[in-house]
Structure 1
């Protein structure tokens, strides 16, 4: 049993917050994706900046360009794609396709980090891929534009997997720097919104959802995950991560955004089960 230290518990807190990402995004439905990305990161970045100041100042924001490119590209790119995917495709299916990222981390760890891929890890990846095929097996019932959303969801998975794997090569970047990455993502999101979308003024429900997004899944979760991945037990966090798509989809169903039919339950089992096998392989 891996030793559960405080950093590992912090990473577990990030996973718990991410379980609420989809349902909070749907609670803010009606806000354009890029606007939602900008507003969520503005809240999260502001709270993170206050935390960085409380810890001794803003010197952590002085990072090389490669760190900024990695942080902003990963955070902004992933969430812009994610919110657009939930807006353009059935939320439950798009959400589960997005959660192929842990399996993709396993695949990318070989060419990028030089880690060996054994048969159990490959079995886990194959199960996750089978889960995505099950999700899309009913594609004839989807609206034509849903396929664009599914493509964006797969883009989410690749973006976050690449961001996570490359983070191991930037372990010297302090966690406080994430505040700067969030604020830069907010500025970038606002600029892209101005170019491609029209502003929608949120109502009370949407404001609450945006505030909760920024405080949790699009805010505190990044700082907790950074701590967990750099100073905790990544094996245990990787295993626990595969509970997130299950919890996230169940929350969507409770919110009324999905029906837990046989196809969706089978896909959940394949994605989560494949992830556990891949993460626990020696």
Structure 2
């Protein structure tokens, strides 16, 4: 049953969890290589999602798929978690959290652009304006305010962050044709991707981990960012009478995240970060406006 109040509560819970993960990423990467962090987080996520499926009485769905769907799980697992999180954690390893986190939020705009050739959506003027505003914010953050010089502090880190947005948006475009249960699908994707991550980690960085804050932070990422947050957001979307109102909650997350980054990581937040983040959020808000208009039209027509 639809329940907007419950949808908003689930959405707020998700946003709160998302707001902490940039800090958790950096805490974990203090002692772990990105691929080591990915191995630990992915392992924790697989365990959590298996428990969730059992508690919900949906564990049997894991064994009721077709051969094609199991093959799909392996293919999508190579994209998410393997490629996406390797790029994302690589970006966080090289950039301050206050820079990597806002850049990652531009994936929603990338999704709108990729939907044009792959899903047959129309590119509207609002999308173009949103892109200009969003990527102006990206330039401000990436250059740390030195916009006229276009001098990037860490070009590779910025490239990894923006590359992760393309991979993440591509993953969701592929997922539009996915008929599996969402949690079952994500569980199988991570389960299939885990052996690949394990082999790469063993081959490159080794499998020796010291028990401490970094290990705990990696487990936290797997449990909450990769696991529980996804389930909460799915519930929020299912319960929502107005999905736009719930979706707009994501605009709280990057600003709340800066609070955790400042107090826990002790990063001095630059003025350029605030300016760039506001521009990115403005661009995403402009892009979201067409979704609101479409939903209002459907409501009036029903």
Length-normalised TM-score, structure 1: 0.86
User: What's 1:178 paired with?
Assistant: 186
1:166–1:52 distance in 2 versus 1, CA, 3 Å: same
Counterpart secondary structure, 2:284? helix
Aligned residue in 2 for 1:60: 62
Alignment partner, residue 160 of structure 2 = 152
* Residue 31 (structure 1) shift: 0.6
State yes or no: 1:254 paired with 2:268.
no
| Residue segments in structure 1 that go unaligned for 5+ positions in a row | none
The answer for the alignment partner of 1:49 in structure 2 is 50
Tell me what 1:244 maps to.
253
Give the CA deviation at 1:99: 1.6
Counterpart CA distance in 2 for 1:185 and 1:257 is 34
**Within the alignment, does 1:220 sit opposite 2:220 as a pair?**
no
Give, in whole Å, the separation in 2 of the partners of 1:156 and 1:261.
23
Report the Cα distance in structure 2 between the residues aligned to 1:176 and 1:228, rounded to whole angstroms.
17
Correspondence 1:137 to 2:143 = yes
Residue segments in structure 2 that go unaligned for 5+ positions in a row? 145-149, 294-302
Given the two structures, how large is their TM-score scaled by the length of structure 2?
Answer: 0.81
The answer to whether the 8 Å contact 1:67/1:173 transfers is no
Aligned residues: 278
Alignment partners' CA distance in 2, 1:225 and 1:181 = 18
SS in 1 for 2:4: coil
Tell me how far 1:3 sits from its aligned partner. Answer: 7.0
Residues 42, 214 of structure 1: 8 Å contact kept: yes
Partner residue, 1:97: 103
CA distance in 2 between partners of 1:229 and 1:53 (Å): 22
| Partners of 2:235 and 2:248 in 1: CA distance | 17
- Give the drift of 1:171: 4.4
Q: Aligned Cα RMSD in Å?
A: 2.6
Change (3 A) 1:172 1:189: closer
Q: Deviations over 1:179-233 (max 9, x none)?
A: 2222333322211111222344233212321222121012212333445557755
Please say if 1:85 is aligned against 2:85. no
